[in-house]
C-alpha cells in the first residue's frame, strides 16, 4: 500500500456510467487523493490544466467500482482456500472495489475482535475494501442470537448465518425484531435445511438420470414463505440471498408489492447457467443453492430486468482441489466468481435484457445503497473507487489463470465479453490490464 496519497488525476475520453444519477455520456472525471472532485461531459472541454496526471480512457466505460455483497473470504481459518490478499487481487482484477464477506470463517465473525481483525487486515493489504457481515447467531449454530447491537457498532454491515439458513422460526423472529430496533438487515440463505439435506443438485429428471439425490425448489419457497410472515410480524429488514427459482422470485415479488421491507440478490450462475452445466458430473457446477431448470433461469433474468431482484453478487465460494475433485455427491458446494462477475453480468446487456447502465446499477449502486455504503456512484466527494472497462472485449474464462487461490469456476471455458482495464481504490490504481 502506497504511503503517499495519489495527486490529482484526470480521466478523459471516457464513457461515464453513473447509475445513481442516470448518467451515460462521454466526458471526464477528476480525482484528488482519495476522492472524486468533479465529473461531467464538459469537464476539461478547454483541456486539462498542467500539473494534473492524465489517463486517456480511449472511449472505454468509466463506472463506480463494483460492490460485491456476498463473498466468502476463508481468512481467518482456511487460508489454503483463499486469503484476504488473493481474494483482493481477484476482486480488483474483476473491477470490484468493495467486498462484503460472510461470517463463516474460523473463528466465526461473531464478536467485535474478529470484525475488527478483518477490517484492519484488509486495510493493511490495500486492495479492495472489505466490510464484514457478522453472524446472526453465535457460532452460526442457529440457537442464540449474537450481540447484534454491539457488532453493528463495531462495523458489521448486516447479520447472517452465511451459507446456513436460520432454521428456527423463533430465532429468526427475534433476529428480525432486533433488526427493526437497530436498523440493520438480516440476510438469509433461503433454503429449508431438512429438504436440502443429502441433496447434491436440483431435483428433477436430470438428477434422476445422473443418479443423484435432488434438492427440491420447494426448499427455497418454503423458507421464503415462512420468513415473509415473520417480516410482516416484526417489521424487520430482510434480504434473501442468491434467489434461484421462479417460485422464490414470485414470493419476493408479492412481498414487495405488499410493501414489506424485503430485498434480494442473485448471482451470475443463476441467470447464466442451468442444471445442464452439471452434465458429466462437473463438480465446479455444484453450487448452493443448486443450478435450476431453464425456466427458473429465465424467471431470474426477468426478475433482474424488472427490479424484483435488487442486486447481483458474485457468491464467491472458493474450494480447494481436495474438496472438489471427488465423486459429485461428496464434493463441496460452491464456485469462485470475483473475476467473472462483471463479464458474465454483461451478458444481460449483450442479450438485450438490461441497458449497460442497469447492469452497473445492479453491481454497484444498488448493493451500496442497500448496505448503507458511500460507494457505487460518480459524484464530487464520493470515494475515488472506479473501474474502467471495455464492454465489448472478448476473452475466455480459464480457471487456471484465475488469481483466486482456488480454481473452482462454474464458468471455466466460457467465452465472455467485457474486460476490466483499470481498477482504482481511493484514487490509487490497484489493477491495470496487460496491454
Distance of CA 271 to the CA centre of its chain: 14
Q: In the chain, how many H helices and how many E strands?
A: 15, 19
pLDDT(157) > 80: yes
Among 115-119, 184-188, 275-279, 388-392, the least confident range:
115-119
Cell of 333: 458446494
Read off the pLDDT band of 1 (50, 70, 90).
Answer: very low
Average pLDDT over residues 116-141: 94
pLDDT(359) > 60: yes
Average pLDDT over residues 189-202: 98
Q: What pLDDT, on the 0 to 100 scale, is given for residue 2?
A: 47
Tell me which DSSP letter residue 132 carries.
E
Task: Give 221-274 pLDDT, tens digit per residue.
Answer: 999 999 999 999 999 999 999 999 999 999 999 999 999 999 999 999 999 999
Q: What pLDDT, on the 0 to 100 scale, is given for residue 6?
A: 87
pLDDT(41) > 50: yes
Please say if 22 is a catalytic residue: no
Per the CB < 8 A criterion, the answer to whether 208 and 199 are in contact is no
pLDDT(129) > 60: yes
Cell of 94: 474483476
Q: 38: burial class by Cβ within 10 Å (0-12, 13-18, 19+)?
A: middle
Q: Which CATH homologous superfamily contains domain 65-371?
A: Metal-dependent hydrolases (3.20.20.140)
Average pLDDT over residues 182-211: 97
Instruction: Tell me, yes or no, if the pTM score tops 0.95.
Output: yes
Rounded distance between C-alpha atoms, residue 366 and residue 110, angstroms: 26
Q: Which helix (H) or strand (E) holds 225?
A: helix 218-234
Per the CB < 8 A criterion, the answer to whether 410 and 85 are in contact is no
Cell of 277: 452445466
Q: What pLDDT, on the 0 to 100 scale, is given for residue 4?
A: 65
Q: How distant, in Å, are the alpha carbons of 1, 68, 193, 247, 322 from that of 126?
A: 5, 17, 38, 41, 30
Task: Give 64-118 pLDDT, tens digit per residue.
Answer: 999 999 999 999 999 999 999 999 999 999 999 999 999 999 999 999 999 999 9
Average pLDDT, the chain: 96
Q: Which helix (H) or strand (E) holds 98?
A: strand 96-101
Percent over 70 (pLDDT), the chain: 99
**Cis link prior to 289 (omega < 30° from 0)?**
yes
Q: What pLDDT, on the 0 to 100 scale, is given for residue 270?
A: 98
| Concatenated DSSP letters of 145-207 | B--HHHHHHHT---EE-TTS----HHHHHHHHHHHHHHT-EEEE----HHHHTT--EESSHHH
Read off the pLDDT band of 119 (50, 70, 90).
Answer: confident
Q: Which of 340, 205, 344 is nearest to 271 (CA)?
A: 344
Cell of 38: 468533479
Catalytic residue selected from 315, 385, 412, 426: 315
Instruction: Tell me the Ramachandran region of residue 218: left when phi exceeds 0, alpha when psi lies from -120 to 50, beta otherwise.
Output: alpha
Amino acid at each position: 500500500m502506497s504511503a503517499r496519497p495519489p495527486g490529482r488525476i484526470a480521466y478523459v475520453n471516457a464513457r461515464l456510467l453513473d447509475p445513481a444519477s442516470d448518467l451515460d455520456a462521454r466526458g471526464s472525471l477528476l480525482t484528488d487523493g482519495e476522492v472524486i472532485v468533479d465529473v461531467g461531459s464538459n469537464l476539461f472541454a478547454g483541456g486539462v490544466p498542467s500539473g494534473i496526471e492524465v489517463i486517456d480512457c480511449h472511449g472505454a466505460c468509466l463506472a463506480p467500482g463494483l460492490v460485491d455483497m456476498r463473498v466468502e473470504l476463508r481468512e481467518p481459518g482456511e487460508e489454503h482456500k483463499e486469503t484476504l490478499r488473493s481474494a483482493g487481487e481477484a476482486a480488483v482484477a474483476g473491477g470490484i472495489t468493495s467486498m462484503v464477506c460472510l461470517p463463516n470463517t474460523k473463528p466465526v465473525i461473531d464478536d467485535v475482535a474478529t470484525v475488527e481483525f478483518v477490517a484492519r487486515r484488509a486495510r493493511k493489504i490495500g486492495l479492495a475494501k472489505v466490510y464484514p457481515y457478522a453472524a446472526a447467531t453465535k457460532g452460526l449454530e442457529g440457537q442464540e442470537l449474537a450481540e447484534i447491537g454491539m457488532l453493528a457498532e463495531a462495523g458489521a454491515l448486516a447479520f447472517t448465518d452465511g451459507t446456513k439458513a436460520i432454521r428456527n422460526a423463533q430465532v429468526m423472529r427475534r433476529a428480525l425484531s432486533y433488526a427493526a430496533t437497530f436498523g440493520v438487515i438480516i440476510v438469509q440463505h433461503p433454503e429449508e435445511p431438512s429438504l436440502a439435506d443429502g441433496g447434491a443438485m436440483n431435483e428433477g429428471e436430470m438428477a434422476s438420470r445422473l443418479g443423484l439425490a435432488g434438492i427440491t425448489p420447494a426448499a427455497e419457497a418454503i423458507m421464503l414463505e415462512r420468513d415473509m410472515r415473520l417480516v410482516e410480524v416484526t417489521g424487520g429488514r430482510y434480504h434473501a440471498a442468491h434467489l434461484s427459482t421462479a417460485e422464490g422470485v414470485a414470493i419476493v415479488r408479492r412481498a414487495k408489492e405488499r410493501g414489506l421491507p424485503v430485498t434480494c440478490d442473485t448471482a451470475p450462475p443463476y441467470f447464466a447457467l442451468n442444471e445442464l452445466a452439471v452434465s458429466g458430473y462437473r463438480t465446479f457446477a455444484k453450487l448452493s443453492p443448486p443450478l435450476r431448470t431453464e425456466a427458473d433461469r429465465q424467471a431470474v433474468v426477468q426478475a433482474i430486468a424488472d427490479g424484483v431482484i435488487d442486486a447481483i453478487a458474485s457468491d464467491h465460494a472458493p474450494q480447494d482441489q481436495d474438496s472438489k475433485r471427488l465423486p459429485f455427491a461428496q464434493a463441496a458446494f460452491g464456485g469462485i466468481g470475483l473475476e467473472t462477475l462483471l463479464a458474465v453480468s454483461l451478458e444481460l446487456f449483450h442479450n438485450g435484457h438490461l441497458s449497460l447502465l442497469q447492469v452497473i446499477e445492479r453491481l454497484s449502486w444498488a448493493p451500496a445503497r442497500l448496505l448503507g455504503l458511500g460507494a457505487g456512484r460518480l459524484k464530487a466527494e464520493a470515494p475515488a473507487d472506479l473501474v474502467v472497462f471495455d464492454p465489448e472485449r472478448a476473452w475466455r474464462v480459464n480457471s487456471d489463470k484465475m488469481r483466486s487461490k482456488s480454481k473452482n469456476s462454474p464458468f471455466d471455458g466460457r467465452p465472455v465479453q467485457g474486460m476490466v482495464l483499470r481498477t482504482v481504490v481511493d484514487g490509487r490504481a490497484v489493477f491495470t490490464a496487460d496491454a
